[in-house]
Amino acid sequence: MSTFTKAVAHMRSSKTVMISGGTLLAIAIVALIGPWISPNDYMTTDFDRLFQSPTFSSMNLFGTDDLGRDLFVRTMLGVQVTLVVAVVASVVSLVIGVLYGATAGYIGGRVDTVMMRFVDTLYATPFIFFVILLLVVFEQNFLLIFVAIGAINWLDMARIVRGQTLSLREREFVDAARLIGVSTPRIILRHIAPNLIGVVIVYVTLTIPQAILIESFLSFLGLGIQEPQTSLGNLVSGGALQIEGASWMLLIPAALLAIILLSFNFLGDGMRDVFDARQSR
Amino acid sequence: MSLLEIDGLSIGYGGVDIVSGLSFGVDASESVGLVGESGSGKTQTALAILGLLPGTAAVSGSITLGGQEIVGADDATLNALRAEHVGMVFQDPTQALNPYIPIGDQLRRILIQHGLADGSDADQRVMHMLDRVGLPDAARQFRAYAHQLSGGMRQRVMIASALIAAPDLLIADEPTTALDVTVQAQILELLERIRDDTALLLITHDLAIVAGHCERMLVLQDGKLIEEGKTRKLFSAPATEHTRALIDAAPRVDTAASPQPVSGEPLLDVDNVSVSFQERDRQRQLHAVQDIDLELREGETIAVVGESGSGKSTLARSVLGLIPMRTGRIVFCGKAIEGPVQSRAIETRRDLQLVFQDPAGSLDPQMRVERIVAEPLAVHAPDLDGEARKARVISMLERVGLSDAFLQRFPHELSGGQAQRVAIARALIVNPKVLVCDEAVAALDGSVRREILLLLRKEQQETGLAIIFISHDLAVVRSISHRVLVVYLGRLVELADGEQMFTKPRHPYTRALLDAVPVPDPLAPGGRLSVKGEMPSILEPPSGCAFHPRCSYAHARCKAELPRPRTVDGTRVACHRAEELLERF
Ligand SMILES: Nc1ncnc2c1ncn2[C@@H]1O[C@H](COP(=O)(O)OP(=O)(O)O)[C@@H](O)[C@H]1O
Ligand code: SF4
Ligand SMILES: [Mg+2]
């Protein structure tokens, strides 16, 4: 059995992983097919039905907003966008962080010192501030948000991966590869990176909620996804304005956001237990 | 009735019995050896006697100690039993000693807890015990923490704590496996000397130890007792095939023949190599290897022996370019090679290969055997297509005695011996000229070890492979080495032809090492107490001859002046008194 299949087997025996993972999967599936099945769409306004509270009659399951748009479809769309932003941003931070951290850790010495000083410097920079500046100055777009979030998250990933690599580097199978004549980039790619899978998976599951929070924060400030597109952050920010008369506009997306964040956190914790258990065997 | 009585003991995990139907007894003040290969259930049996098996173990049968039943007993009974009737010594004393409590206090607690002594009386008894187990300056060591002691000293403390309550039975599970031979001899002698009337159950994989220290022995195979009897009788006329195989596989340092010396031009010439490390505090230099010369010829095996920490691995790793040398030169096939392994010519890298001690650790856990063995080909024979590569891998696996059924296995699905075969296959697939084996068989069971040694010998005869064989175990080395290099604290002590080294050693340290090795023969058990003390820290090597504090032939000159290696009667030896001592050994 490979590490991967073994890990999967362990995950299936972990309740935390199964419940939180199942919840996320269910939300993702509904978010994907919900808008497709619903008779409503995300941008048609209906001035006869402003601030409609949740109802079955017109299939406005989550009610409508101040422009009479169906909130079920918009919320599902928001979930899609939020998940995509978070996952893509995490993958960006994963790729950069793993390669950067593994290189610094493997080469070591002065290269390591310089590379990690650079990371420290970036840490000290108020990044979110720059991102906001960038977003204000330039036209806001999806890509920029991915990059912005990824650029913040890869720092942690790089640090964690470097630490792991420092200990992997001392392992005898790495010496064996060096003796055989395997080149340094290939050792990093073939021997170091695959052995980082455990930590990386755990860490990614824990960074996704961070990315979601950053995206929501930017959207809340009106700097994220632009109308008529939407995200959970956008919906929460819109709902917050109507808290008096139409509380569902805030409560439903906020609750979903909370469930998603919690599920990812539990999933991350569960995964850590799974991999810890495997390590201690 | 016996002191310890085991009747029909079975231990199972998840429905699989790892010990089944075990019955034996140990009489008062008797010494019994329990032997078997790794995984045969020795330690599980010991844990059962101590009532220390995990809750997941299904235990049936009966174990009585002094008439008291242990299987199924409650915690209070077990605690009382353990405190007063059984002492235990494990392979790794660090696990059993509390790192946060001074060792004296730990011993005193045992006495006080069991109401055996208190106050200054307890202090006195602890001091006396530490003194008896040979802890120098017991009064000061009383306040030492476990990590401040050497491995040998820790094991002494362990023995002190096991015996301080004067138990009826002492269980020692591989008590010397982690120690060097000279220290092993000291610890075993100590066990014999101070156990008084305590019965001893000595668990070990090493038959040579049982031969010298146990009256009776029990042989375990796959959780079953296959043979028991007087040690002498079992050795001379074993009733089962398995016992015979175990005895045959145990290497003998006293009689095995070494291969004849090889002649020819040197293939690898290691000249005056020194390696130093910066200590953590950045103040001191640690001279791990100093001024070592070595020539290796085609088809020759040179063994490098010495106690652990003497610099064997460091020497090998610097020759291979894994760590930098401080001084020295390496000439390979007539050309000087230098620098770290990454900067060496690709042919040089192909020609020098290494096999490590820990077979599992040297294989990438994420790769299948096929990819592991094929990896060198990807570097050194890149034009080979997939088919041809696979064919080479299969034929290489066959050479090391593995079928193609292993291709798709992961390292953790291999036994120690199989993993070591894979590591050897990976090293040999590119047909190197020199193979360095760093303790390559140290972690393997006797029978597997012998097969691996035979495999290396066969490869050498077929391909002219030159081998640097690093080992702390002289008995293993004897049958395969054309020449032997003995090192002590990073320096050459003696370099001689194998036969010469084992029959007529020139250096007092070599002599001491040879005497300390136990021999699997109850009539001539070896394992003599040959040298006092332990190897000093390499950070503070003694002046002059580094061996002088332990040498029984030391003169005033030895303390003052470093003996340079000289050629005496055909061997290289670094001792001021080599000529005089020729007659004495
Ligand atoms: N990377 C290192 N840094 C500092 N000291 C080391 C390092 N590697 C080995 N040493 C020290 O060098 C000495 C020789 O070690 P080693 O070559 O491993 O001995 P052996 O293989 O004979 O047991 C030991 O005291 C060890 O602690
Ligand atoms: S030089 Fe002196 S101390 Fe060293 S081994 Fe020879 S006799 Fe012993
Ligand atoms: Mg070593």
b/e for B407-431, b at 16 or more Cβ within 10 A? bebbbeebebbbbbbbbbbbbbbbe
Decide if A178 and B353 are in contact by the 8 Å CB cutoff.
Answer: no
% chain B with pLDDT above 90: 61
Q: Do B324 and B317 contact (CB within 8 A), yes or no? A: no
Asked whether B575 lines ligand 2 (CB < 6 A), one says yes
Where in chain A are the domains?
2-280
The β-bridge partners of B275 are B289
Decide if B350 and A181 are in contact by the 8 Å CB cutoff.
Answer: yes
What pLDDT score was predicted for residue B194? 84
What pLDDT score was predicted for residue A141? 67
What pLDDT score was predicted for residue B270? 95
Mean pLDDT for B31-59 is 91
Is the pLDDT assigned to residue B322 strictly greater than 80?
Answer: yes
Is the pLDDT assigned to residue B540 strictly greater than 90?
Answer: no
Instruction: Give the confidence band of A139 by pLDDT, cuts at 50, 70, 90.
Output: low
Contacts of A254 (CB under 8 A, 6+ apart): A236, A239
State the Cα angle at A189 between A96 and B337, rounded to 5°.
125
Q: Indicate the residue type of A121.
A: T
Is the pLDDT assigned to residue A281 strictly greater than 60?
Answer: no
Asked whether B505 lines ligand 2 (CB < 6 A), one says no
Name the minimum distance, in Å, from the CA of A234 to any CA of chain B: 43
% chain A with pLDDT above 90: 25
Asked whether B514 lines ligand 2 (CB < 6 A), one says no
What pLDDT score was predicted for residue B395? 95
Judging contacts by C-beta atoms under 8 Å, the chain B residues touching residue A3 are 365-366
Same-domain pairing of B245 and B270:
no
Name the minimum distance, in Å, from the CA of B475 to any CA of chain A: 26
Nearest CB among B352, B365, B430 relative to A3 is that of B365
Decide if B361 and A177 are in contact by the 8 Å CB cutoff.
Answer: no
Q: Which of A134-138, B338-342, B463-467, B491-495 has the lowest mean pLDDT?
A: A134-138
Of all ligands present, the nearest one to the C-alpha of B563 is: 2
Residue B204 φ/ψ, nearest 5 degrees: -160, 155
d(CA A54, CA A175): 64
Asked whether B472 lines ligand 1 (CB < 6 A), one says no
* Chain mean pLDDT for chain A: 83
Residue A36 φ/ψ, nearest 5 degrees: -75, -40
Best residue for ligand 1 mutational test, from B179, B286, B437 (most atoms within 8 Å of Cβ): B286
Q: Do B510 and B493 contact (CB within 8 A), yes or no? A: yes
CA of B548 to the centre of ligand 2 (A): 6
What pLDDT score was predicted for residue A4? 62
CA of B546 to the centre of ligand 2 (A): 8
Decide if A179 and B346 are in contact by the 8 Å CB cutoff.
Answer: no
Query: A1 — contact with chain B (CB < 8 Å)?
Result: yes
Q: Which of B210-224, B269-283, B413-427, B474-488 has the lowest mean pLDDT?
A: B269-283
Judging contacts by C-beta atoms under 8 Å, the chain A residues touching residue B365 are 3, 173, 195
Place of tokens 């950053």: A214
Closest residue in A to B426 (Cα) is A180
The helix-helix angle for A197-220 and A232-241 (nearest 10°) equals 30
Give the model confidence (pLDDT) of B221-269 as tens digits. Answer: 999 999 999 999 999 999 999 999 999 989 898 888 889 888 888 999 9
Q: Which of A193-207, B176-190, B352-366 has the lowest mean pLDDT?
A: A193-207
Same-domain pairing of B215 and B166:
yes
d(CA A214, CA A224): 10
Chain centroid to CA A126: 20
* Runs of H (alpha helix) within A43-141: 71-107, 109-124, 127-137
Residue B158 φ/ψ, nearest 5 degrees: -55, -45
Of all ligands present, the nearest one to the C-alpha of B537 is: 1
Same-domain pairing of B360 and B469:
yes
Same-domain pairing of B317 and B223:
no
Query: ipTM of this predicted complex?
Result: 0.79
Q: β-strand B57-65 against B352-355: which pairing, if any?
A: unpaired
Query: A13 — contact with chain B (CB < 8 Å)?
Result: no
Nearest Cα to Cα of residue B27 among B55, B65, B61, B62: B65
Q: Is the C-alpha dihedral spanning A173, A177, A178, A179 positive or negative?
A: positive
**Fold adopted by A2-280:** MetI-like fold (1.10.3720)
Name the minimum distance, in Å, from the CA of A41 to any CA of chain B: 48
H/E segment holding residue B3: none
Decide if A195 and B361 are in contact by the 8 Å CB cutoff.
Answer: no
Place of tokens 């009479």: A68
Contacts of B249 (CB under 8 A, 6+ apart): B446, B447, B449, B450
Place of tokens 């299949």: A5
Same-domain pairing of B161 and B306:
no
**Boundaries of domain holding B287:** 266-581
Q: Which of B127-141, B358-372, B517-531 has the lowest mean pLDDT?
A: B127-141
Query: A181 — contact with chain B (CB < 8 Å)?
Result: yes
Instruction: Give the confidence band of A90 by pLDDT, cuts at 50, 70, 90.
Output: confident
Greater confidence (A83 vs A278) lies with: A83
What pLDDT score was predicted for residue A1? 45
CA of B475 to the centre of ligand 2 (A): 24
CA of B287 to the centre of ligand 1 (A): 9
Question: pTM for the full model?
Answer: 0.82
b/e for B486-508, b at 16 or more Cβ within 10 A? bbbbbbbbbbbbbbbbbeebbbb
Judging contacts by C-beta atoms under 8 Å, the chain A residues touching residue B378 are 182
**Residue B258 domain-assigned?**
no
Number of domains in chain B: 2
Mean pLDDT for A59-88 is 85
Q: Indicate the residue type of A233.
A: G
Give the model confidence (pLDDT) of B493-510 as tens digits. Answer: 999 999 999 999 999 999
Q: Which of B272-281, B323-332, B372-381 has the lowest mean pLDDT?
A: B272-281
Greater confidence (A241 vs B512) lies with: B512
Residue A32 φ/ψ, nearest 5 degrees: -75, -50
What CATH number corresponds to the domain at position B240?
3.40.50.300
Is the pLDDT assigned to residue A42 strictly greater than 70?
Answer: yes
Q: Which of A51-55, A224-228, B152-156 has the highest mean pLDDT?
A: B152-156
Same-domain pairing of B237 and B323:
no
Same-domain pairing of B167 and B219:
yes
Q: Which of B43-47, B178-182, B207-211 has the lowest mean pLDDT?
A: B178-182
Name the minimum distance, in Å, from the CA of B484 to any CA of chain A: 25
Same-domain pairing of B387 and B441:
yes
Same-domain pairing of B279 and B151:
no
Instruction: Give the confidence band of A280 by pLDDT, cuts at 50, 70, 90.
Output: very low
Q: Indicate the residue type of B441.
A: V
Same-domain pairing of B465 and B384:
yes
d(CA A99, CA A101): 6
Same-domain pairing of B225 and B351:
no
Judging contacts by C-beta atoms under 8 Å, the chain B residues touching residue A1 are 410, 413
H/E segment holding residue B291: strand B285-297
d(CA A166, CA A156): 16
Q: Which of A62-66, B210-214, B238-242, B562-566 has the lowest mean pLDDT?
A: A62-66
* Runs of H (alpha helix) within A38-70: none
What is the CB-side half-sphere exposure of residue A260 using CA atoms within 13 A? 31
Same-domain pairing of B171 and B313:
no
Instruction: Give the confidence band of B458 by pLDDT, cuts at 50, 70, 90.
Output: very high
DSSP B513-548: HHHHSB-S-TTS-B----S-S-PPPTTSPPSSSTTG
d(CA A92, CA A152): 10
Nearest CB among A183, A184, A194 relative to B366 is that of A194
Mean pLDDT for B3-22 is 92
